[in-house]
């Protein structure tokens, strides 16, 4: 009879250690490029203990996202719902954009956060449909669309959804930290200057919202 694996309470074989290693491997090689045995080996944890905690690779993958996104999702939704729309369309859109941008970019302030950001960028651009975006990010999308429709009630609903989708693209690109902006700017721009990144990205997305949702296209 196989011996039942019982989780140890010490710091070496903990659930968080498994998640730390899995996050790095998934960020580097993607979901399909990582095995449960590889995670166990890298974490110096018996394979049986990995399966004990997470059951399957998908369970492990979702747990990596759950650990990082639960607070992130809650903060963004709380900030969006706290916005009091005023008469200035520009100010309204800046507040909405900042509520999306600031919490996400602040995740990059730590090395662990930068690893997760790379993983998130992979997932956003992966059409495999593992349910990550629906579970952890669609609630933010729903609240964002609601407030955008209140901020621009005259805008066709389709434009509101496109506006949100384009904003997500800008967020994902800016959050990847590939070093490309440093290269093409000859070092003038620094993607790890998070205060500058938050300001520039917030106003870029806000201008996109305003341009798409409030400005007439008539010649």
| Dihedral angle over CA of 172, 173, 177, 178, nearest 10 | 130
Domain boundary among 6, 30, 55: 55
**For residue 42, what pLDDT is reported?**
94
The CA distance from 134 to 139, in Å, is 8
DSSP code for 176: S
Domain span at residue 26? 15-55
Domain CATH for 47: 1.10.10.60
Q: Which residue numbers in the chain have pLDDT < 70?
A: 1-13, 217-219
Largest CA distance in the chain: 78
Check whether residue 179 and residue 132 sit in a common domain: yes
pLDDT per residue over 129-160, tens digit each? Answer: 788 888 889 999 999 999 999 999 999 999 99
Check whether residue 77 and residue 181 sit in a common domain: yes
Query: Structurally, how many domains does the chain consist of?
Result: 2
pLDDT per residue over 110-128, tens digit each? Answer: 777 888 888 888 888 777 7
Check whether residue 45 and residue 77 sit in a common domain: no
Check whether residue 24 and residue 106 sit in a common domain: no
Check whether residue 162 and residue 126 sit in a common domain: yes
Task: Write phi, then psi, for 127 (nearest 5 degrees).
Answer: -85, 10
Check whether residue 96 and residue 117 sit in a common domain: yes
Asked if 69 and 137 touch (Cβ cutoff 8 Å), the reply is: yes
Check whether residue 177 and residue 112 sit in a common domain: yes
**For residue 172, what pLDDT is reported?**
85
The contacts of residue 179 (CB under 8 Å, 6+ apart) are 191
């Amino acid at each position: 009879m196989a011996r039942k694996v019982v989780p140890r309470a010490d710091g070496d074989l903990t659930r968080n250690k498994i998640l730390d290693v899995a996050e790095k491997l998934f960020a580097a090689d993607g979901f399909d490029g990582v095995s449960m045995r590889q995670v166990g080996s890298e974490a110096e944890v018996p394979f049986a203990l990995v399966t004990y905690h997470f059951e399957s690779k998908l369970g492990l993958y979702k747990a990596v996202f759950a650990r990082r996104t639960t607070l992130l999702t809650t903060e963004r939704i709380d900030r969006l719902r706290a916005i009091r729309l005023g008469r200035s369309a520009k100010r309204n859109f800046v507040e909405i954009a900042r509520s999306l941008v600031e919490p996400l970019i602040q995740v990059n302030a730590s090395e662990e956060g930068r690893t997760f950001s790379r993983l998130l960028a992979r997932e956003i651009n992966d059409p495999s449909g593992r349910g990550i975006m629906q579970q952890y990010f669609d609630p933010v999308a729903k609240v964002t669309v609601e407030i955008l429709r209140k901020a621009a009630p005259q805008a066709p609903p389709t434009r509101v959804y496109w506006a949100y989708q384009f904003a997500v693209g800008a967020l994902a690109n800016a959050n990847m930290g590939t070093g490309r902006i440093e290269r093409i700017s000859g070092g003038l721009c620094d993607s790890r200057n998070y205060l500058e990144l938050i300001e520039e990205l917030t106003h870029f997305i806000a201008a996109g919202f305003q341009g798409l949702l409030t400005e007439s296209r008539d010649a």
